Structure 1
Amino acid sequence: MEMTAGYDYNIFNTTFPFEDFPDDDEPCNLDPNPMEVTAQAFIHSIICALGLIGNTLVIFTYIFYKRTKTMTDVYLFNVAVADLIFVMALPFITYNEQHNWKMGPVACKILRSSYSINLYSGMLLLACISGDRYIAIVQARRSFGARSRALLYSRLICSAVWVFAMALTLPTLIYTENFEDVSLAGRATMMCQLSFSATETAKLMKVLVPSLQMAIGFLLPLSVMVFCYSSIIFTLLRAQSSQRHKAVRVVLAVVVVFVVCHLPYNVALLTHTVDLFKERNCMPEKIKMQALTISRAIAYLHCCVNPILYAFIGVKFRSHFQQIMVDLWCFSKKYIYSARSSRGTSDICISGLKPSDGSNNMSSFSA
């Protein structure tokens, strides 16, 4: 059974042999056709460009304009950092998959681990956001005094999330190897996949890695979000507060989009994991691999969707983005106009960076 780097095999395909396909007279070739490879590269390029611009703007806004005033702000800042790490790695992943992993074994391990870190940290941070919103809205009276130390708590929690995400990524980091694979057609290609020397280790990891991704990277955060947001909606319906509805709308939209992006991939991954040690026919396996590729691309979309949600739903965040555009225009004028007009332009640009006494002091995601 011929394997290539066209699909994302780092989670579920290894040097451990796959089952035979008894109903087929010829070996099963899962190579993607050139059109699929081109389409995948095009989609990844769009995701990378939008994610890079959007998440950079979010980070830039928090550092220079908005500041992190609440626990949710700290969490969303870290989500943007996690997304930015992955979108910066994505073009290198695409390039290496199409050019036999020329960047070597170190790049192989780091790039293959980038999605895992992004997934675990991003989903767990969104679960933390839902927990913070639950405490702020449902437990508002009880948590009033404790939230004065919110920034310290949130930074400690974020540090713990990052350490936990890195720990969960260790199997991928340790067992991913860069090696030469000779196909049935006699073509030698460099692969970057999970690789094991012992059969028992291969069997364990082929189930453990996707199971951890589904359980801790998806089902656990989803359960926390469902509980927290169900309680929040119930509280808001009783309170009839339009202001609180606006406050939770941004975070709720971010979580819903994240779940929609990752649910298809986790369902496809679950189906593949269940069938790992069964006999499979070639055509259903090809369809399954195509479904995994498509759902993987949908999962990647979350990296560029979150900043769009901030811009179009969060009123205060949208105003900060607009201020960034104004300041960038001002700074460009500074180098175009003469020295006589540069003083006034510089003053306008600097004033945009200063927090006002009004909306800049309030979080756009706070109740």
Structure 2
Amino acid sequence: MESNSTVSGGHVDDSSDVVYLCDDTFDFNTINGAFFILIFIFSVAGNCLLLLVLIAHESLKDVTNLFILNLACSDLIFSVTLPFWAVYYLHHWVFGEIACKLMTAVYIVGLYSSTILLTAMTVDRFILVVLNNWAINSVKRQRFATVACVASWVIGSAASLRDAFKVKVEHYDGISSCEDPSDDHDINLGYYLQVSLLFFLPLAIIVFCYSAILKTVLQPSNRKRHRTVVVVLCIVAAFFICWGPFNVLLFIASFYEPKDCDAMERLEIAYSICRILAYSHCCMNPLLLMHSQTLRRHLLDLLCCKKAKKKNREIDIGQSASVNQNVHFVAQNSAVTFELHSE
């Protein structure tokens, strides 16, 4: 992390365009790389199983299932970038400038498409639960969900273009890095605008909607209704619990300057921990959704289908053999009885 101060012997000398020279700072790069690989493995496994369950056993005409399908795709797209960032932190950027731009774009598309999809899911629940007097039929809901899903991908892709064009591969002492070389003021201004519109504004909308939803659902006449509200609330809460600290820390770090090496080290550690928490979100949705008994049953059917079919086939073969033996035994007894009567 660059700064505008140089630290020498524990003292700070203010100057322009210089870098901290701190010794023995805690290196989180190996931990970051290891966690990114683990998150990638769990996310790909969980979200692929979730997609298979949705496609094989669930109706994609259902609005909630359509949103969950797109969320799983968004998490998978985000997860694809993690091995690249893992190699970056464990070694340095070895994939070239095109991959640098592409991975930055894919990262941002995965992040902001998830935010927009979760906001659309919340608004859908708000209309159904709080504004249930509105004449909304299934066709209108499906149309709204389809438009929201398409919009999430279009807006996420548009938001990624700025960063994708600006990032470059920089070389320092034989080490390559994938970063934005722009002036700090331009970076901060673009970040404020992007995060305000695509993170904090959706967060405000979601908080408003769920305040009204919970107020309605917690009424005595509604406590046993709207079970989907709880599922959507858990999914939304997991997203903002994971990504909230990271975005808040980035917002603070954009105008906060560490005064010494210790402050810089604490900021780096906090940044690394919050980033690992944020990236781990792509594993959360499959875990949360597997609390549904229906999805768990479908998953077990999917995983055990071959074993179950083989077992059923063996049972059928055993039953057929047993029936044949009984028939043969009865036939033998009948023949013996017939011979006795004949004598």
Give the TM-score normalised by the residue count of structure 2: 0.81
What's 2:175 paired with?
189
* 1:190 counterpart SS class: strand
* 1:274 counterpart SS class: coil
Aligned length: 309
Q: Deviations over 1:26-52 (max 9, x none)?
A: 952489756x33322222222111111
What's 1:222 paired with?
203
> Which amino acid is 1:87 matched to?
S
Residue in structure 1 matching 2:145, options 146, 154, 159: 154
Alignment of 1:111-190 (within 5 A): 111-145=103-137, 147-182=138-173, 188-190=174-176
Residue in structure 2 matching 1:44, options 33, 36, 41: 36
Q: Deviations over 1:202-235 (max 9, x none)?
A: 2343213432453133211111111111111111
Residue in structure 2 matching 1:292, options 267, 271, 290: 271
> Residue 286 and residue 209 in structure 1: after superposition, are their counterparts in 2 closer, same or farther (change >3 A)?
farther
What's 2:284 paired with?
305
Residue in structure 1 matching 2:236, options 255, 258, 269: 255
> Which amino acid is 1:191 matched to?
S
What's 1:355 paired with?
none
> Which amino acid is 1:303 matched to?
C
What's 1:318 paired with?
296
Query: Following TM superposition, by how much is the alpha carbon of 1:242 offset from its aligned partner in structure 2, in angstroms?
Result: 3.9
Residue in structure 1 matching 2:305, options 327, 335, 340: 327
What's 2:329 paired with?
none
Kept after mapping to 1: 8 A contact 2:33/2:86: yes
Residue in structure 2 matching 1:98, options 84, 90, 93: 90
RMSD: 2.7
Residue in structure 1 matching 2:21, options 19, 25, 28: 28
Matches of 1:289 and 1:27 in 2, distance apart?
13
Residue in structure 2 matching 1:61, options 47, 50, 53: 53
Kept after mapping to 1: 8 A contact 2:246/2:274: yes
Query: Following TM superposition, by how much is the alpha carbon of 1:24 offset from its aligned partner in structure 2, in angstroms?
Result: 4.1
Query: Following TM superposition, by how much is the alpha carbon of 1:143 offset from its aligned partner in structure 2, in angstroms?
Result: 3.5
Query: Following TM superposition, by how much is the alpha carbon of 1:90 offset from its aligned partner in structure 2, in angstroms?
Result: 0.5
Matches of 2:156 and 2:24 in 1, distance apart?
32
Q: Deviations over 1:306-359 (max 9, x none)?
A: 1100002x232222222212225457x59xx9xx86x99xxxxxxxxxxxxxxx
Matches of 1:181 and 1:30 in 2, distance apart?
18
> Which amino acid is 2:104 matched to?
R
What's 2:187 paired with?
206
> Residue 321 and residue 221 in structure 1: after superposition, are their counterparts in 2 closer, same or farther (change >3 A)?
same
Kept after mapping to 1: 8 A contact 2:169/2:178: yes
> Which amino acid is 1:253 matched to?
C
Identity across aligned pairs (percent)? 29
Matches of 2:33 and 2:203 in 1, distance apart?
30
Kept after mapping to 1: 8 A contact 2:130/2:213: yes
Matches of 1:203 and 1:47 in 2, distance apart?
31
Matches of 2:108 and 2:238 in 1, distance apart?
19
Name stretches of at least 5 consecutive residues in structure 1 with no aligned partner.
Answer: 4-12, 183-187, 197-201, 345-367
Matched, 1:72 2:57: no
Kept after mapping to 2: 8 A contact 1:120/1:213: no
Q: Deviations over 1:228-286 (max 9, x none)?
A: 111111111225334425221111111111111112112211110122xx574332122
Q: Deviations over 1:114-171 (max 9, x none)?
A: 32212111111101100000111111231333x3232233112211111111111112
Q: Please, which moves more after superposition, 99-108 or 118-127?
A: 99-108
Name stretches of at least 5 consecutive residues in structure 2 with no aligned partner.
Answer: 14-18, 318-343
- The structure having more radius of gyration, on CA atoms, is 2
Query: Following TM superposition, by how much is the alpha carbon of 1:292 offset from its aligned partner in structure 2, in angstroms?
Result: 0.8
Matches of 2:90 and 2:273 in 1, distance apart?
18
